[in-house]
Structures are given as structure tokens and as C-alpha cells.
Structure 1
């Protein structure tokens, strides 16, 4: 498999609630899987929209709806300030589409170019926004740390409305309204909404208010549906890798249902087609690994305006044209990422202190692209099971970094503690538990690397550093069939915090061959079984080395392999280790 400086081990998940608790009637396998994911009752599997909690539980919602209702009544000019990732792009498209549908006529958007302006509502972005003469600024997926940006907006006479889901700092921006489920004391039961989910909740509350005011009463004033936005909500939620708690599972399930039923936005459908995926069979994995990267490619290498315009397109031909451009950018991104990843692995090989003896890793190269460092950080984290910070030049006098963490370290809290203990070390930072970004003076990088690893060492236990592959145990041979694979596909959506089922077993290798440069196609038979099955392993570092192996132990997913008009069960190997024959 790919480069693993820290050896993995297979660990089986254990049920965290009794498998029988209120889940009678489900197949035993599903009861087992749900119990290991803390599902204790059938009600938790209800993915209908009426199960969503009220938007009014979000603490800033009354003020937010007051502002938007007034803007609609007076037809004020509103400018959405977006972020340049998939969550920010979908949140922007949802805001523009939703506000226009509810009757606000003058809605436009502005997304910062990451290479010129960086992240969020900075004073520079406020100055750029002012050229369009908006009366209100509405942030999506950003703004909670924009203290200077909020002051700049106030000085220019623009009212600021913030929707965000990032962790607030000790001080909040001076805004007319803030909606963020992570605000201190906020009673909303779901703390894992993506930025697009927060914006969708704002639209739900605004529509309820307008309904109460009688805005949709009378001929020609039909209440606009918000359901058509759920495909974009699902895309942003999955692409931002937020935890699929019960609320997010409802949003993603409903969005996928619209896509499969042929009611997806033309731009999203075009991106699926560009990736070779069928909208009628779309899964959360398709959104996360096919659509999300193509949308993100615009923000990483060029300008996310292209991605947002694709999501806003109503014309199928225009959407396909933009999706083709995004697909080309994604191929360029893949090549750049692979080159940077190989350079990063070469740096790891050359470390004086081996990876296995370190608590964290900090990497920098003068030639690295700041739009791709987050992906490289994620790849290195996956391979080493260590917190990773990857830096690139910012084009001026400093460096920008992207961090990825492992369970056991809240990476944004770590940065906050470093900033508090060393006030002149970090220029800016922000993020979540598992991912964060920051900027530094160039000369501060060696000191940051030293403090970063020391702080990680204080927070991590030896158990945290074990590179475990968590599986749902073994499948019986009679369960390795197409019906079970279909059942697993329908039992999701699966994703972060609600992991897709992963099984383990020992197999005899009946046949194997190399596909392309780094993939394996195998024919496997369970060691104590009679039937054989097709299997595939992608991204194998040295595939030829596995061809003559007589037996292996593998962690695998059971999936449906569709080729032309045929459908068959297939084992997708996520990890494998050799066994003696």
C-alpha cells in the first residue's frame, strides 16, 4: 500500500449501545453497524425533514431574520461574502438562490481570491465590496473572526450579517446579527452544521417569518420551496467533512434523494457527469470524492467565482461548459498535489528524527503552492498518523500554513494556546478540531515548528499515536453478495463521524494483476471459504510487489461494481498486509 512510516494495525469497532435497542426489524448486520455508531433507537434513523430541529433554536436567528426581513421589505442591496472552498461556494449559491426566491431582488456575491486577499472578511475585502455600494454584507462560511473587517464595514456604513460555523474567539465581531451554532451558550442541538447548513437554516427561518406575515397569501404569491437547495446543502456538508450527526444525515439524505430523482442543480449534475458518476446512483462518497474536489479546484488554483457560477447556472449547456473547465483545473491540481506529496515524503525520509519518534510534523518548501498545501497536509497525516502542518510562501514576506489533526488533538485550540502563550508568533489563524489554517512571518517558522511539536507531545498519549484501521469486523461468506452491498449503500449516508462500513478478513490470493501504474485487480477467496470474489486496491505504492503474494489480510469495503450493463459485488481494499501461504 502507499508509504506507511508508521505501521498500521486493524482494530475492530465495538457496539457502544446494545444492538437490539429499538432496532428490531432491521437485518442483524445493520443492527451491528448502527450500534457501533451510537444509534440506539429507530427514531435516530428517520431522515425525514420534519425531524430537523427548529431554526429558532439558533441564538442569533431572531436578529438575523429581522435584518433580512427589513432588507426584503425595503429591497436593500445585499452582497454575500463567500469563502473559496466547496462549503463556501455552496453556501454562497444557496444564499443567492434562496434570497432571490424569497423576494430579495438585489443580491450579488463576492468571493475573495485566496492568493490576493486570503481568507475571510478582511478590511481589504470590505473596501472591494464597497465599490459595489451594498447596504448589507452577509458572510457565509466565514466572518466569526473578522474583528477588523467588521469595523471596516461599520466605518463605511454597511450593516454586517454573519453566518458561520467556525469556532469563535474570545471576542466577537461587531455585527448586526450573528448565527453560528458554536456561539457560547447557543442551544441549537447540532454543533456540526457546515457553513451551507447554517445558511439553509437562516432561509428556513426567514421563510417562516414571511409566511407568518402573510407574504405568500393571495393569488400569484405562492410560497417558494427551499427543497431545491438541499442538493447543494448536501454537497457542501459532505465536502467540508463535518461530522454527519443526525441533523447533517437528514440534510445529506434529502439532498441525495433530489439528485437521484433527477432534480439536482444543473451545475452539480454536470460535475457528477464530468467525474464519470451517475446522478441517479449518487452517494455521499460521490459528493465528497468526485464533485467536491472539482469544485474546490477553482478556489485552489484560480478563482472560486467559476465554481459558484457553475452552481448558480440554470442552463444545462452552460453548466457543462463550466464543469469541463473545473474538471481540467482538477486534473492540474492532481498533478501538482502528487508532485508536492512526493517531495513531502522525501523530506520525511531525510528527517534526522524518524517519523515514528515524533509527535507532529511541520513541512515547508519554497516551491509549494498555497492552494494545495491543505491536501498535502491531509495526505501526510493519513500516512503518518501525526498532526501535520504544511507551509508555502504567501507571495509576500510570510508563509501560509494548513494543518490537519488526528483524534486526541483539537488543532484550532492548540493554535489558540500557542497564540496566547507566544503573542508575536502567529499573524492569523482559524479553523476546526481537525483542520486549521494560519499565517506566519517567514522567520517565525522554525520556532513555530518547535513549539507545534512540543505542544502536540504534551497533548498526545501513546495510544493516540497508534495507526489503527477501525473495522466493523468480519463478514460471513454468505454476506459477500450484491444484495448486502446494496443494503449498505442505502443505509447511509456515511461520512465523517458516521463512517462507511469497513470489514476485515483473511483471503487466499487466486490471481492479481497491475492496473495502470498504482492499482491492483485481484481475485480473492476467504481462507475458510469456498467462493471467490473480485477485489481492487487503488493507490498501491509498489503494486508489482503484491502480485505473487499467496495470502493477505485486508480491511475492505463491500461495494457494487457497475460496468456497462452488469452489476456485481466487489471488495475495495483500503488496507492490506501479507500472510504466509
Structure 2
């Protein structure tokens, strides 16, 4: 695997200066300016600065539909998704509706089984809902539904109303968006919606529907501004789902995440969230967005991948501390199993890659399948291979129905969902189902069409991928003076809600590697020296020997050891000292 090119982000000097003049610390002003922040108001993460709920198309109609259902005591059922965004959105919906007056007997939920039921509101899921809960009159999808034309039609034929809350792109079979004929759709990415935050996660969309519902109930005299329920109690869940779904942290999403982190640090969270922090061995008092994405999110996602996401949803719903702890322990055990399955699949996938081409001459796009692959983990493995090879990758597993279920991950410059759409038009019938985004997508194939899919994916990659997109570029924030290599700087940098599209600070400097020690099987502990100072560094997932003068891309971290904090550099990449940026 070749080293990435370390590229320094551009910092508009006038913007950085203006941010400093507005009171932003100089280092943060430089970092924010490099990430597109143009005014200090964009950094205001107070709830008062959230985009108004009525500017999200469909929320007013959704609020009326839900308020009518609450007033009429109509049973309603949440149709969830089996990932972390779907699980948190389901918990937010159920907790929020109960807080706003829905009686517990009105509220039910179902979550499809990844392998048995597939994704979204299907006719089979509608029948499953009515078999379990024949009195249900309203279906509410969370984090799914925008492509469920057949499911919505079937639900309405059986006398149900349907409210779709989603954030995915609608299907475009003939080049035009095709929407299901639901009673109400709330989705910032539907045609005609001018809501500025197109990157909001499914859990954020559901939270906005609840804000609109509360406003509707105020108008109906159910609450006043003084005694209305505090929906901000749900923001720990909103933050978790938003970060775990790897949506871009635009200004509005940063507010949602920052508010959730603030409450988590204060200990104001659901019992299930607290239990997840404990089993993950992380400090909630020092919560960062990365903890949500890399520690809590995977434990919830593991249930949907290898078991039943009902476990995750129940963990987030229970108010019983002991039950929350027991469920969190189950989720932790499933996550350990997921790691083992993933490791085995990754090794097998890399062996398959080696049969395709040498590591320095891989195809422009990769399609991998093995009979032993697990459907629940194909997306993770595709992501790992994409990171390693810097190529679009699709990994397939055989589903219970005999069809091949694939998950893909892409690189900048190659819109994966658009590629699938192009392939579907060039090879009618090859894709039985598909959907997704620019960087991640999924599809279903008949086994006999796998070779055609592979050839079509390579063809579109050959046509669309510019040579400049094939080299891995790692954006950095340039040099960090050694005077700022301090615990105070590490703590300052840990506070903001960094994430997708608003990446955590990554600096690059030349250092002398004094010593290197292997830690476990896959990590390295380094002692590095710069300008007379010696510091500890850790490089996760790498054991390649380093010595002498080296250029590191690194983050500052406050590492706790035996009850004391110490500064540590977390290495992301190492390149020869003479490599140009």
C-alpha cells in the first residue's frame, strides 16, 4: 500500500482573522476557516440557532397527522431500520411521542430482519405489522421509506395511513425522482424541499417532526411554552445516530451533535446510553463525537448485522438501569463476535484481491464475493478494503433467499449510487434493487449476473474516474508549533463536534523517530523528537518500521494512564521526510 499524499488545507487569512476578532482562539480560528466556516455565528451551537422545524417540508402536515392520531387514541407503529441511525430514530420517535401525549398502548414498533426481510417498508413488513398489531392505523417510517412505493401502496390498500420520515435519496428509475404516494413525506432530499441541511440523518428528521408536533399541540391548547415537554432530553440519541450514520456535520448537524455531547458530558442521558458508555470503557464525562462513531455506534450496529436490532432499540428505550446494563452487555458480546466475523472476511477478501492483481496494480473498481461471507458485515469489509486500496469496492454475500446482497463504498470523485443507476440503465434487469449515496450504496443481484455487474462497475469506473482521483490524498492542517503540543491544546481540540465533512484536526510535521515498539499484534508505540522535545505517539493498525527523519500526520490526544492524563500523538500516516505537500 502506497503512502498518501499529505496535502495542507487552504486557510483564507481574512476569514481566520475575522474569526479571531470575533473571539475565537487563534488555533481554532485557523481550523474553522480551513473547514469552510465564514462567520462566528456558524459556530453558535445553541438550540436557538437550529433551523426552524417548519422550514423542513412536510413537518407541518406530519404534525397534524400525528396530533390527530394522538387525539383519537389511534394505535401507531414505527417501522425502523436495522442500523444505528434507524435504532436511535425509533427510540426518539417512541420516547418523543410518549412525552407529547401518546398513550403507551398506542405505540408499537417493528424492525426488519436484515437477512430475512431486507430493507425498508415492504408489503411483507406491512403484513407483519398487521399480524402482530391488527389495530394499528398509522405507520411511521424512520430512516427508510422514500423508495418504498410497493410497501406504501400495500399499506394504504389495507387501510393504513403512512408517514415517511427519511433522509435517503429517492429512486430515479427514468431520470426523474419517484416518490411513494404516502400521506405525508418528510425528507430534506425530496423534490421541492428547500431545507438547507440536506445532510440531516434519519434521527434528526424524526426529531424535527417531534418539534413540529409539539408546536401543533401548543396551537391546540395541549401545552403552553411554559409547560411543554422538553424534547432536548432526546438529543443524546440524536447525536449518536447522526455521528454513527457518518452524515456531513454541517452547521445544523453540528448543533444537534454539540447539544447531545453537552448533555452526555453532564450525565444527562438515557439509561441505555449510559450503559453503552460503560461497556465500551469510555468516559462519558469527556465524550467526543469520535466515541459515538467508533465505540457506541458499532455496538448498536452489531445487533442489526448479526442478531436482531430489537436488542439495540430496547436498550435505548428502557428506563430500568439493570435491564439497560444487561442489554448493553449483550450488545457488547455481539460486537465482539462481529469483529471476529469481520476479521475473517477481511482476510479472505484480501486473498481474493491478491488473485485479481498485484497490490500496486489493482483494478479501478473491485467486486468481491465468497460463499462464506456474512451479509451483515459486507459493508464494513467493503469500507476497510476501500480505505486500504483507494478504489470503489463492492462486497457481496448470499442472502437467505439465494440472491446476492452487496454493499459498496467509494472514493471521492466516484458517486456510487449514480454509478448503480447508470449500470441499471445500461444493463436492464441486472439490479433487482439498489439505493444509497455518493460514498455508500447497496444492491441485490441474481447470482448469475455477478460477472456482468463486475464488468459494468469496472466500465463505469474507467469512464468516470480521473487519474487524479486514484492517488490517496490526506488533507492536513499543516504544522503545529511545539509550543502547542500540550494537554491544554489537546483538550481545546477535543471540545468541538468534529466529524464527517468537518474533520478533526490533523497536523503534519517532520520528526525524528527515536524508538519504536510493537504493541499487541497490529500497533506501534513510538518515541519521537522534535525541536528538542520528546513525546509519546501511537500508530494504530501499523507495524511497519520507522526510523530517522519522518514526516507524520498526527492528532493530539489526552491519554489517561493510571489516573493521570498525559499528551500523546495519534499517528494517522507516515511518509518520507522529503515528500512534498
Normalised by the length of structure 1, the TM-score is 0.95
Which residue of structure 2 aligns with residue 496 of structure 1?
500
Which residue of structure 2 aligns with residue 75 of structure 1?
73
- The within-5 A match list for 1:144-159 is 144-159=146-161
Q: Is the 8 A contact 2:80 2:142 kept in 1?
A: yes
Which residue of structure 1 aligns with residue 10 of structure 2?
14
Q: Is the 8 A contact 1:23 1:40 kept in 2?
A: no
Which residue of structure 2 aligns with residue 208 of structure 1?
215
1:229 and 2:262 aligned = no
Q: Is the 8 A contact 2:356 2:362 kept in 1?
A: no
- The within-5 A match list for 1:69-468 is 69-105=67-103, 106-131=106-131, 132-133=133-134, 134-169=136-171, 170-217=177-224, 222-352=227-357, 356=361, 358-468=363-473
CA distance in 1, matches of 2:401, 2:183: 34
Alpha-carbon offset, residue 310 of structure 1: 0.2
The range that moved more, 27-36 or 433-442, is: 27-36
Q: Is the 8 A contact 1:360 1:452 kept in 2?
A: yes
Q: Cα gap change, 1:23/1:416 in structure 2, threshold over 3 Å: closer, same or farther?
A: farther
The range that moved more, 418-427 or 159-168, is: 418-427
Q: Is the 8 A contact 1:87 1:236 kept in 2?
A: yes
Residue by residue over 1:282-317, the C-alpha shift from the partner in whole angstroms, topping out at 9 and shown as x without a partner, is 110000000000010100000000000000011111
The range that moved more, 281-290 or 395-404, is: 395-404
Alpha-carbon offset, residue 7 of structure 1: 3.7
Q: Is the 8 A contact 1:130 1:156 kept in 2?
A: no
Q: Is the 8 A contact 1:23 1:42 kept in 2?
A: no
Runs of 4+ in 1 over 6 A off after TM superposition: none
SS of alignment partner, residue 18 of structure 1: helix
Q: Cα gap change, 1:310/1:349 in structure 2, threshold over 3 Å: closer, same or farther?
A: same
Alpha-carbon offset, residue 469 of structure 1: 1.3
Unaligned runs of 5+ in 1: none
Residue by residue over 1:208-259, the C-alpha shift from the partner in whole angstroms, topping out at 9 and shown as x without a partner, is 11112110259xx931110110000000000000000000000000000110
Q: Is the 8 A contact 2:20 2:26 kept in 1?
A: no
CA RMSD of aligned residues (A): 1.5
- Which of residues 45, 70, 74 in structure 2 aligns to 1:47? 45
Which residue of structure 1 aligns with residue 174 of structure 2?
none
Q: Is the 8 A contact 2:92 2:237 kept in 1?
A: yes
Residue by residue over 1:484-517, the C-alpha shift from the partner in whole angstroms, topping out at 9 and shown as x without a partner, is 1111111x20000000000111111222211111
Q: Is the 8 A contact 2:62 2:184 kept in 1?
A: yes
CA distance in 1, matches of 2:425, 2:164: 25
Alpha-carbon offset, residue 110 of structure 1: 0.2
CA distance in 1, matches of 2:456, 2:575: 36
Q: Is the 8 A contact 2:146 2:180 kept in 1?
A: yes
Q: Is the 8 A contact 2:15 2:39 kept in 1?
A: no
The range that moved more, 110-119 or 549-558, is: 549-558
Q: Is the 8 A contact 1:482 1:560 kept in 2?
A: yes
CA distance in 2, matches of 1:278, 1:421: 51
Residue by residue over 1:101-157, the C-alpha shift from the partner in whole angstroms, topping out at 9 and shown as x without a partner, is 101111110000111101111111111011112100000000000011011101111
1:521 and 2:517 aligned = no
1:564 and 2:566 aligned = no
1:487 and 2:485 aligned = no
CA distance in 1, matches of 2:465, 2:15: 30
SS of alignment partner, residue 18 of structure 2: coil
Which residue of structure 2 aligns with residue 27 of structure 1?
25
SS of alignment partner, residue 558 of structure 1: strand
Q: Is the 8 A contact 1:550 1:579 kept in 2?
A: no
Alpha-carbon offset, residue 339 of structure 1: 1.0
CA distance in 2, matches of 1:312, 1:330: 20
CA distance in 1, matches of 2:361, 2:326: 47
CA distance in 1, matches of 2:460, 2:497: 36
Normalised by the length of structure 2, the TM-score is 0.95
Which residue of structure 2 aligns with residue 511 of structure 1?
515
Alpha-carbon offset, residue 355 of structure 1: 5.6
Residue by residue over 1:395-427, the C-alpha shift from the partner in whole angstroms, topping out at 9 and shown as x without a partner, is 223100001111112211211222223221100
